[in-house]
């Protein structure tokens, strides 16, 4: 009996000692240069960023300090409307949600763009569109009351057109997520944002859900993107991107992403699109956790979308995919692919456009190797290239 009690005391002492040592270990790490280091191939390890760079061969890793791993105060999930709650008037929706809506100003040496966003946690995490902040040098968030704060990008995703940014402030009013799967044709909705810039910020427009499960194709030099979206008749314009689409309870059920514009041939009105909240929520969680959405293979090239069979024949060049730019963090760059190369075959299959590459990538995973046939200045080259996680190509 006595020996059993002694064993229990020893086990408790040992457990306490382990907890203390682990706490001391974290304190030492936080006071040192050691961090979680993500390499260009997606590998994450514990080490010193400068030494890790030397070991890897000069490519800059992305360092995530242990003390600064982003964690929102509120869970990212969709919440069903309270069945006992009555629908709100548009005036009530505005009063409930407007304090959570932000203006976002993205500024470079050459241009300035504006968009919208909304607060997802009291400590400054904000959701917006990737295209609002992509390539932006300095990002500023203007809150509902006009105060401004510098922001940093926590994570972004080209495919879903989502981004999470962070400002260093507390006490904000988080928006409430709704269940986009419950939305039906004809449901009343509202949008709040900043059409055409900050001069018209905090604008609310109303409409209905015109369509659900709409597939639209966004042209992109890195590969056309098919997005499944909600269609709305709410008036949305440049500057509304990233703002919330709200149900009759003042819950966000969509993130405004795009609208179809008119042309010289036809006039278009009332065709706005939003990313469903149920689609966005798990992706936002990944952006906060990883900085990117995992499981998306990429070659790391940007292509010349104007290059086609006619252009190739006119210049006596082979049909294929002409490369405009190669991301230096990609294996494509490491293996020698360069701008102006023309990829004519992938794994023996002839390719003539970025859609062919996208179709091949959808059947592969990051780390899989593609066998490329490449035309360069009159020579045919054979280059093996590994696909990488798209999120590391920043």
Q: Answer yes or no: 210 catalytic.
A: no
Q: What is the 3-state secondary structure (H, E, C) of the chain?
A: CHHHHHHHHHHHHHHHHHHHHHHHHHHHHHCCCCEEEECCCCCEEEECHHHHHHHHCCCCCEEECHHHCCCCCCCCCCCCCCCCCCCCCHHHHHHHHHHHEEEEEEECCCCEEEEEEEECCCCCEEEECHHHHCCCCEEEEECCCCCEEEEEEEEEECCCCEEEEEECCCCCCCCCECCHHHCCCCCEEEEEECCCCHHHCCEEEEEEEEEEEEEEEECCCCCCEEEEEEEECCCCCCCCCCCEEECCCCCEEEEEEEECCCCCCCCCCCCEEEEEHHHHHHHHHHHHHHCCCCCCEECCEEECCCCCHHHHHHCCCCCCEEEEEECCCCHHHHCCCCCCCEEEEECCEECCCHHHHHHHHCCCCCCCEEEEEEEECCEEEEEEEECEEHHHCC
Residue 345 appears among annotated catalytic residues: no
**What residues contact 1, with CB distance under 8 A and at least 6 apart?**
none
Whether residue 241 lies in the annotated active site: yes
Catalytic residue chosen out of the listed positions 123, 161, 331, 341: 161
Q: Is 316 left (phi over 0), alpha (psi -120 to 50) or beta?
A: left
Identified catalytic residue from 63, 100, 156, 241: 241
Between CA 240 and CA 250 the distance in angstroms is 17
Q: Tokens in use for 81? A: 């409307």
Of the residues 131, 157, 258, 331, only one is catalytic, namely: 131
According to DSSP, the β-strands at 112-119 and 125-128 are antiparallel
Which amino acids are annotated catalytic? 131, 161, 241
């Amino acid at each position: 009996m006595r020996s059993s009690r002694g064993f229990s005391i020893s086990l408790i002492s040992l457990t306490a000692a382990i907890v203390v040592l682990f706490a001391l270990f974290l304190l030492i790490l936080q006071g040192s240069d050691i961090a979680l280091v993500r390499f260009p191939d997606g590998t994450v390890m514990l080490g010193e960023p400068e030494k890790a760079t030397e070991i890897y061969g000069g490519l800059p890793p992305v360092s995530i300090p242990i003390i600064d791993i982003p964690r929102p105060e509120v869970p990212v999930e969709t919440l069903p409307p309270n069945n006992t709650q009555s629908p709100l008037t548009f005036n009530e929706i505005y009063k409930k949600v407007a304090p959570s809506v932000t203006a976002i100003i993205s500024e470079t040496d050459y241009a300035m763009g504006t968009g919208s966003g909304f607060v997802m946690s009291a400590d400054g995490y904000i959701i917006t569109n990737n295209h609002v902040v992509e390539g932006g040098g300095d990002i500023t968030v203007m809150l509902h009351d006009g105060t401004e704060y510098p922001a940093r990008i926590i994570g972004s995703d080209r495919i879903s057109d989502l981004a999470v940014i962070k400002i260093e402030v507390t006490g904000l009013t988080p928006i409430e997520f709704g269940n986009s799967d419950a939305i039906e044709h004809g449901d009343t909705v509202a949008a709040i944002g900043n059409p055409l810039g900050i001069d018209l910020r905090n604008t609310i427009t109303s409409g209905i859900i015109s369509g659900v499960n709409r597939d639209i194709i966004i042209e992109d030099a890195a590969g056309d993107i098919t997005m499944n979206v909600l269609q709305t008749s709410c008036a949305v314009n440049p500057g509304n991107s990233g703002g919330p689409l709200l149900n009759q309870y003042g819950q966000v059920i969509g993130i405004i992403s795009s609208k179809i514009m008119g042309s010289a041939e036809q006039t278009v009105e009332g065709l706005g699109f939003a990313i469903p909240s149920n689609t966005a929520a798990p992706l936002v969680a990944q952006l906060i956790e990883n900085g990117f959405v995992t499981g998306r293979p990429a070659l790391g090239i940007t292509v010349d979308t104007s290059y086609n069979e006619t252009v190739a024949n006119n210049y006596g060049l082979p049909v294929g995919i002409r490369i405009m730019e190669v991301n230096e963090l990609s294996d494509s760059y490491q293996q020698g692919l360069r701008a102006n190369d023309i990829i004519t075959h992938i794994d023996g299959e002839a390719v003539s456009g970025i859609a062919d590459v996208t179709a091949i990538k959808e059947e592969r995973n990051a780390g899989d190797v593609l066998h490329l046939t490449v035309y360069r200045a009159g020579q045919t080259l054979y280059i093996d290239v590994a696909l990488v996680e798209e999120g590391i190509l920043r």
